[in-house]
Structure 1
């Protein structure tokens, strides 16, 4: 048992507030990410980590510039220790060696234990500074686009998509204005590779209320290849996705909604007698003699006989 695993009783108000922030909540805070350099890293790996920090990790990310001699697929204790110390549930580990050059490991942590890890190799990299275009501000919430059937069919790519969403989604916001949608992250899976491209959205004049949209590449641009995976079991993954009962919406009778959020309601009413419905008094709505006679026959009353009979 390490010093972090012991039961700690707060002695000051400051330490009490610190422990309360780490307690489980109904609505969790934005996930923090830690970016770690391995014992040996190349210039490409270092620049990739810095670009990801500049664009997406700030202010919910920490960068550990010191080298950490660890192998996540063989020993995960150091990652779990760092996650508990810095209160991070996401990590990105960069390393470089002869067997696996320019290596990145994307991972998630649940209950301070490693949940998923996916190892990707960098085949081609273009940094932010190499593309001479205007950039987005730090902390911009990006729009994520995933292209490729493999993201829906392959279990490993499904988990990779989920990790990318957790890593790049940014904080939860109640509203988004049109001018704030200025960054697009596009992931394409094709022929065993994942192509990551980042674009800036330009709103041009179109002569109407809806602006004309253009995309301008701003970087970073990375070509990944899938290497090793460490996925959680189905039971553990289901436990990690479990929601508390207080957050689950209560079912309401006769009310349903479709995929687009439109709400439909079902109303139960008694059968109405439209013959007794009061209409507006006008000549066009008055019944004629023939109609009156037909109505009386339907009701069962025999019509009056004429005097000639």
Structure 2
């Protein structure tokens, strides 16, 4: 998220205001994105349960607004709470059980997609163990439409941005215990949540089993509001200081293995110094053969 408002020079009057403005300034490495969940004034229990199950820490904002008609209230809440992601839930006769997921760029709506809930299985409806709070999920997308259709491509990117969580340098094997699976088929999107169980297998690598944990949603795509190609490209622009410097003669394969190419001059194997061993010494008969062939014998210095 680029903060273009920092161009306007505002002189703080207190130290607290100065710290606030410094926090809002543009950074080379942006902080983790925060999400706000907004409950529409006419949201029913299905939409409310879906919002509560999507995030473990649920901050409810109740507001009567229509994001596709008027985006000013969303942009106001985004700037006030410094949130670049949002999810809005509502319910009416024309669009029942409605969820709108979107994101901001410079505190303005970049893109948002409207999804309809056709079926919901809540966390409380599945009686088994759950993953602890703050567990980083593994995201799995199934379906060719995620790679072929432009709307589904943007939806996939938006879901990754929404559920990816904070960036961490390392992760332990036991921490890979939460899977979010999205399947797109026949015009519907099936969201399933699984807990990974590591079972004994008799060897070093454990046996993997998946246990459905919830929530489980059957979704259908309704309306979309996507940014233009130029604006979307601008939102992905990174500072030059963040981009890694390109190293010559180094390549990577699909598995992340690093390969390096070394350029060396052609070696003269005749001048190669080998290890001196008694077994490799030439016998007098071999030396006589070389002398007969016209090879000049080596002249030793006399005492």
Same-fold call, TM cutoff 0.5: yes
Query: Match of 1:129, SS?
Result: helix
Which whole-Å CA distance do the structure 2 matches of 1:154 and 1:286 have between them? 74
State which of 183, 201, 209 in structure 1 corresponds to 2:204: 209
1:43 maps to 2:39? no
Q: Specify the alignment match of 1:307 in structure 2.
A: none
Which whole-Å CA distance do the structure 2 matches of 1:10 and 1:223 have between them? 49
Q: Specify the alignment match of 2:11 in structure 1.
A: 9
Query: Match of 2:210, SS?
Result: strand
Q: Specify the alignment match of 2:25 in structure 1.
A: 23
Query: Match of 1:245, SS?
Result: coil
1:94 maps to 2:89? yes
Shift of 1:290: 7.0
Which whole-Å CA distance do the structure 2 matches of 1:295 and 1:236 have between them? 83
Q: Specify the alignment match of 1:228 in structure 2.
A: 223
Shift of 1:292: 8.7
Q: Specify the alignment match of 2:301 in structure 1.
A: none
Which whole-Å CA distance do the structure 1 matches of 2:178 and 2:251 have between them? 34
Which whole-Å CA distance do the structure 1 matches of 2:135 and 2:119 have between them? 25
Which whole-Å CA distance do the structure 2 matches of 1:263 and 1:206 have between them? 32
Q: Specify the alignment match of 1:83 in structure 2.
A: 78
Which whole-Å CA distance do the structure 2 matches of 1:240 and 1:248 have between them? 15
Shift of 1:211: 1.3
Q: Specify the alignment match of 2:300 in structure 1.
A: none
Shift of 1:283: 5.5
Is this contact kept in 2: 1:36–1:94, CA < 8 A? yes
Q: Specify the alignment match of 1:127 in structure 2.
A: 122
Shift of 1:258: 2.5
Query: Match of 2:59, SS?
Result: strand
State which of 159, 167, 170 in structure 1 corresponds to 2:154: 159
Which whole-Å CA distance do the structure 2 matches of 1:264 and 1:152 have between them? 29
Query: Match of 2:231, SS?
Result: helix
Alignment of 1:249-268 (within 5 A): 249-268=244-263
Structure 1 gap ranges (5+) = 305-309
TM-score where L is the length of structure 2 = 0.89
Shift of 1:263: 2.0
State which of 115, 118, 143 in structure 1 corresponds to 2:138: 143
State which of 258, 270, 273 in structure 2 corresponds to 1:275: 270
Which whole-Å CA distance do the structure 2 matches of 1:302 and 1:162 have between them? 76
Shift of 1:203: 1.1
Which whole-Å CA distance do the structure 2 matches of 1:25 and 1:176 have between them? 25
Q: Residue 65 and residue 253 in structure 1: after superposition, are their counterparts in 2 closer, same or farther (change >3 A)?
A: closer
User: Cα deviation per residue 1:158-212 (whole Å; 9 max; x = unaligned)?
Assistant: 1101111111111111110011111110000010000000011111111222111
Which whole-Å CA distance do the structure 2 matches of 1:293 and 1:80 have between them? 95
Which whole-Å CA distance do the structure 1 matches of 2:292 and 2:15 have between them? 88
Which whole-Å CA distance do the structure 2 matches of 1:284 and 1:41 have between them? 92
Which whole-Å CA distance do the structure 2 matches of 1:7 and 1:292 have between them? 94
CA RMSD, 1 decimal: 2.4
